[in-house]
Structures are given as structure tokens and as C-alpha cells.
A = this chain, B = another copy of it.
Amino acid sequence: MNQTDVLCIGNAIVDVITHAEEDVLAAHGLAKGAMMLIDEERADYLFAAMGPTSVISGGSAGNTAAGLASLGGRAAFFGKVRDDDLGRLYRHDIRAAGVTFETAPATEGPATARSFIFVTPDGERTMNTYLGACQNLTEADIDAVAVEAAGITYLEGYLWDPPAAKLAFRKAAGLAHRSGGRVALTLSDSFCVDRYRDEFLGLVREGLVDILFANEHELKSLYQTADFDTALAALQSETTAAGFLAAVTRSEQDALAVTRERTVSAPVFPIDRLVDTTGAGDLFASGFLFGLSRERELADCLRLGALAAAEIIQHVGARPERRLSDLAAEVGLA
């Protein structure tokens, strides 16, 4: 048995979240639903311009790790903060969530990363991320012992943004495979796919990725089509390797698990009120990976993902407010 179910590697980011009307997005040139990278000057500008905030630890892979732990999984995280107040907050929060986190904080250089998130009344989130200390995640931060102890090593596509992290990513994937582990990748964001399409496709085709996560928009961006079925067919034709697996989410439509042999679907869970979609994909990955680590049926993996996503979108922030293992027990998925 692996010591860790899933090791997550990503940008360690503190979310600074506000509610905003649609016209605020237009006024500041924000592309609704996307993650845009910003520099320090733009960060200062947006912070001054935004409404009252909630500050909650975030970052895609970090959210996934926190969700895994909340489900009862053994999760670890690699990510780079600075040794500043927000960095200490980040470290506190991810450890308090039950995630093993030992990446040394940067003692110099840019501050801990922040994402300025505007949540519109429809619950959609628009993210503006200052990467800061994430730029300093390097190969040296990839602790081989920790990677080798993990059944699955999960990487976020956003890691392609800070230049050095890409090498860390490849090192981790190589170590995982050599120790018999599986490598998972989330495409993160359709604009991110746009920036690194060929590289992401290359990772899949060279067999560096065993489990691929994408939402509908990212999948369409990957295959440069406006038609979901076309994109899905392209994905299905990609799954030539035995054991390759893709999980595709489609907002409130059924989620899909795609293998060489078959495509399985499962419905989402009904919710009372959509508050903030931040972390929906990250928490879907938590549930799906937790299911995989417990060798559950693919339909159950999808349902666990949908359950975790349903919890996260009913409140502000991308870290669970309720214990996901309790929710899973309530619906008979524990």
C-alpha cells in the first residue's frame, strides 16, 4: 500500500475573493470565467478596485489536496510560498486540512501568490493571479521520497506558467512512473490550454499522463473545436494506451469517464444555491481521485467528484466547509 494516496503539485495561492456585478468585470477588462495572470502593479490596482473580500487559501492542486483529505484520503502537496504572513496562512490552512505539506518557503524574492477573484451573481468566478513566490518552485522542491510514496501524482496545467515549475513537473512525473505510480494532469483553464496546447497534447501522447482532467471548455480548446462531441471523439481516439483514463466535467450536465474500452457517465448532485464556482473542478478531481485510490467503480468516482464539487460551489472559497467524508456517508458513497 502507498503511504500517500495522492500527491498534488501546483501553485500555492491565497484567494482574495469579492462579489461583483457583471459591469465591474467590463470596467476592469476582466474575461469572465477565466484565469488571467497579472503583475504586481495590476494586483495593487485590482485590490484597490475590488469590493470587500474574503481571504481563503486556494490554488488548484492545493484545493484538490484539501478535498482529498476531507474525504479521508491521504494527501500531500508541493507548492511554493514566501515566508510572509500570507505564506504562513497558506501553510497553516493546508496542514490544518490534513494535508502533508513540507515544501520549504522562499526566504527571498516575490511575495506569496494571490488570486483576486470576482464572483458574479450567477456564481461564476473570474480570477486574476499574481504568481509571486510560485515562480520559485523548482526541481529541487520535488522530494523523490514523497513522490515515490504516492499512488498518484497529480499536477495542474497552471504549473506551465511559472517557467521553472515545468521542469519540476517533468521530474515528478518521471519519478512517479519509475516507482509504479500514476500521473494525473488537469488542463486547468481553457486559456491555459491555449498557451500550452501542443505541450499538453505531447504529454498525453508520450504517455507521461495516465489520468487527464478537463472540463468542456478546456477539452474544446485542446482540440480547437467549438463542438463538444467532436472534442470528445478526439479524446476517445487519444485513449490508445491501456489504463489511460480521462475525466470530463460539463458544469451541471453529466460528468464522463473515458477509457479505451468505454465511456461512463454520472449525473451531478442537485444544489440549493450556486454561490461561487471557484474550485468546482479542483474538488471534482478530489472526489474522482479519492474513488480511484479506493479502487471504486468509475461511476462512483464520478459521483464522488460531483459530490465534492456540489459542496464547494454552495459557499465562498475553494476549500470545503463541511467534512466531505460525512457528505459521502450521507449519500451512501462512503
> B residues within 8 A CB of A47?
92
Closest to A53 in B: B93
Whether the Cβ atoms of B321 and A51 lie closer than 8 Å is no
A272 and B18 alpha carbons, distance in the complex (Å): 23
In A19-55, the 8 Å CB interface with B consists of: 19, 47-48, 50-55
How close is A80's CB to chain B, nearest CB, in angstroms? 19
Whether the Cβ atoms of A96 and B52 lie closer than 8 Å is yes
A48 with B86, Cβ < 8 A, contacts A54-B317, A55-B56 known: no
Whether the Cβ atoms of A319 and B55 lie closer than 8 Å is no
Closest to A66 in B: B52
Q: A85 contacts the other chain (Cβ, under 8 Å)? A: yes
Total chain A interface residues with beta-carbon distance under 8 A: 31
A92 and B94 alpha carbons, distance in the complex (Å): 26
Whether the Cβ atoms of A316 and B319 lie closer than 8 Å is no
A34 and B85 alpha carbons, distance in the complex (Å): 27
A89 with B321, Cβ < 8 A, contacts A315-B315, A315-B316, A316-B315 known: no
> B residues within 8 A CB of A85?
84-86
A92 and B49 alpha carbons, distance in the complex (Å): 9
In A184-199, the 8 Å CB interface with B consists of: none
Whether the Cβ atoms of B57 and A56 lie closer than 8 Å is no
Q: A97 contacts the other chain (Cβ, under 8 Å)? A: yes
A275 and B272 alpha carbons, distance in the complex (Å): 14
Whether the Cβ atoms of B96 and A51 lie closer than 8 Å is yes
A54 and B93 alpha carbons, distance in the complex (Å): 9
Whether the Cβ atoms of A52 and B19 lie closer than 8 Å is no
A84 and B85 alpha carbons, distance in the complex (Å): 10
A321 with B19, Cβ < 8 A, contacts A54-B56, A92-B53 known: yes
How close is A61's CB to chain B, nearest CB, in angstroms? 16
Whether the Cβ atoms of B89 and A55 lie closer than 8 Å is yes
Residue-wise, chain A 291-334 has the 8 Å CB interface mask toward B (1 for contact) of 00000000000000000000000011101011000000000000
> B residues within 8 A CB of A96?
18, 50-53
A54 with B54, Cβ < 8 A, contacts A315-B316, A316-B321 known: yes
Closest to A276 in B: B321
> B residues within 8 A CB of A84?
85
How close is A276's CB to chain B, nearest CB, in angstroms? 9
Q: List 15 A-B contacts (CB under 8 A).
A: A19-B322, A48-B92, A51-B97, A52-B66, A52-B92, A52-B93, A52-B94, A53-B92, A54-B54, A54-B317, A55-B55, A55-B56, A84-B85, A85-B86, A315-B316
Apart from A55-B55, A316-B321, list 4 A-B contacts with CB within 8 A: A51-B97, A53-B92, A53-B93, A272-B272
